[in-house]
Amino acid sequence: MEFFRIRRDIPFMKNASIFNVISFVTFAAAVFFLWQKGLHLSIEFTGGTVMEVSYQQPADLEKIRGQVGTLGYTDVQVQNFGTSRDVMIRLPLQRGADGKPVSSAQQSEQVMGALKTVSPDATLQRVEFVGPQVGKELATDGLLALLCVIVGIVVYLSFRFEWKFAVAGIIANLHDVVIILGFFAFFQWEFSLSVLAAVLAVLGYSVNESVVIFDRIRENFRKYRKMSTREVIDNAITSTISRTIITHGSTEMMVLSMFFFGGPTLHYFALALTVGILFGIYSSVFVAAALAMWLGVRREDLVKADARKAGDIDRNDPNYGAQA
């Protein structure tokens, strides 16, 4: 399915070096902000108090956030669970005037006092403390999941294509992940488990775009034996532009709907996906494809076995000596 077809190849690789410099500067800036500011971790990672409150009528989450915010909490998370009358409230660790952490019982009592002034029917169902040790385990498990995804992508690309594509693809994917984290570090947006899930989703989403382009490059090497590597890559990217616009456009519409209408619970999740999708398109074209070209990918790397089997080696190909 195509909305349109571009008849003349766009010379993307002509300015690949310029875009790679931009990518390197952006990547370096993201690493700097991660090192300088760090991530603003949510209570899933730092520890805090979790409260479950029920109401007789559907709860007004915005009003609850406002009431809890009057107590001095800036990173409170309020969301429904189960039904619209059940609310989960996550509170970060709070320290008293003596510097010691305020207990969960004190926090829950303080919050319930504020909630009952507006909604006397509010009932505390459960309260528990999430310790920093649990948060440390979640962070470790999250990093392990990220590592497993990265290793899986490298193995998949190596078997599907060739090691040069695998290296180019994983660098492009890491480029996307680090830039997402850099945005969260620079603006100090809250980094929660849902954002980590978005980062993992972006890894898979971005590699899918790279695979589509790599697959078209492999097809072009088989079809256009007289083309140079740069011309083959330009043709592959140009011929997939319509597909890219359809796929990413429809995905971005869904993500933006979550961003604007999903409320605070989905706000940072959708924000991470938005940044990841935009940079995923950019990295697949100007990072992954360009790196594959710089690494010296050739027709023989992808179709040598097929060419020998079919006996269709082009003797006019300048690389004929290497094929024979």
pLDDT cut 90: percent of the chain above it: 19
CATH topology of domain 12-39+135-301: Multidrug efflux transporter AcrB transmembrane fold (1.20.1640)
- pLDDT of 5 > 80? The answer is no
How far is residue 2's CA from residue 4's CA, in Å, rounded to a whole number?
Answer: 5
**pLDDT band with cut points at 50, 70 and 90 for residue 204:** confident
Q: Quick one: pLDDT at residue 29? A: 95
Lowest mean pLDDT among 89-98, 230-239, 251-260, 271-280: 89-98
DSSP codes, 266-324: HHHHHHHHHHHHHHHHHHIIIIIHHHHHHTT--HHHHHHHHHHHHT---TTSTTHHHH-
CA 148 to chain centre: 15
pLDDT computed for residue 304 by the predictor: 55
Going by pLDDT thresholds of 50, 70 and 90, the confidence category of residue 184 is very high
- Predicted confidence band at 272 (pLDDT cuts at 50, 70, 90)? very high
- Residue 41 confidence (pLDDT): 83
pLDDT of residue 93: 78
Candidate CATH numbers 2.40.50.100, 3.90.79.10, 3.30.70.3400, 1.10.3720.10; the one for domain 48-130: 3.30.70.3400
Tell me the mean pLDDT in the region 253-273. 90
Q: What is the per-residue pLDDT across 71-86, written as a single tens digit (0 to 9) for each?
A: 888 778 888 887 889 9
In total, the chain counts a number of residues equal to 324
Query: Distance between CA 172 and CA 189 in Å, rounded?
Result: 23
- Tell me what pLDDT residue 107 has: 87
pLDDT for 320 beyond 80: no
Q: What would the pLDDT profile of 129-159 be if each residue is shown by its tens digit?
A: 876 666 677 778 877 887 887 788 778 877 8
Region 77-97 average pLDDT: 83
For residue range 27-58, list pLDDT tens digits in order. Answer: 999 999 999 998 888 877 777 888 999 999 99
What is the chain's mean pLDDT, rounded?
A: 82
Distance, CA of 265 to CA of 271 (rounded, Å)? 11
Map tokens 């970060």 to a residue. Answer: 92
109-121 per-position pLDDT tens digit = 889 999 998 888 8
Helical ranges in 71-192 per DSSP H: 104-118, 132-160, 163-187
Q: Which residue has the tokens 């996550």?
A: 90
Query: What is the pLDDT at residue 97?
Result: 65
Can you tell me the distance from the alpha carbon of 171 to that of 287, in angstroms, rounded to the nearest whole number? 8
What whole-number distance in Å separates Cα of residue 123 and Cα of residue 125?
Answer: 6
Domain residue extents for the chain: 12-39+135-301, 48-130
Give yes or no for residue 18 having a pLDDT over 50.
yes
Checking if the pLDDT of 313 tops 50, the result is: no
pLDDT at 1: 55
CB proximity list for 67: less than 8 A, separation 6 or greater: 114, 115, 117, 118
Separation CA 289–CA 61 (nearest Å): 46
Maximum C-alpha span of the chain: 86
